[in-house]
Amino acid sequence: GRKPKDINLEKIPTIPPNKRSTIRSLAWQLGCSPTTLHRKFKLNLIRRHTNCVKPALKEKNKKDRMNFCLS
């Protein structure tokens, strides 16, 4: 098969976070295609990071949700 593309993965921490928020923008910064970068994610050479902070429900929303579930 075709030889894998050699991209410098050590450059990723030097790229500002707002320029590497999507696969497309990170690929543009690294100078490779998004498909190549996606393969690196699938091979676990690059680890994804997501933020799981979600806004908390207010008291009225909690009550409305409970009433809906009970009905």
Average pLDDT of adjacent 10-residue blocks, the chain of 71 residues: 85 91 93 92 88 81 93 93
Largest Cα–Cα distance of the chain, in whole Å? 60
What pLDDT shows up at residue 69? Answer: 93
| Residue 6 · residue 36 · CB < 8 Å | no
Answer yes or no: pTM beyond 0.85.
no
| Residue 41 · residue 48 · CB < 8 Å | yes
Q: How many residues does the chain have?
A: 71
| Residue 37 · residue 26 · CB < 8 Å | yes
What pLDDT shows up at residue 63? Answer: 93
Cα separation, 14 vs 4, whole angstroms: 23
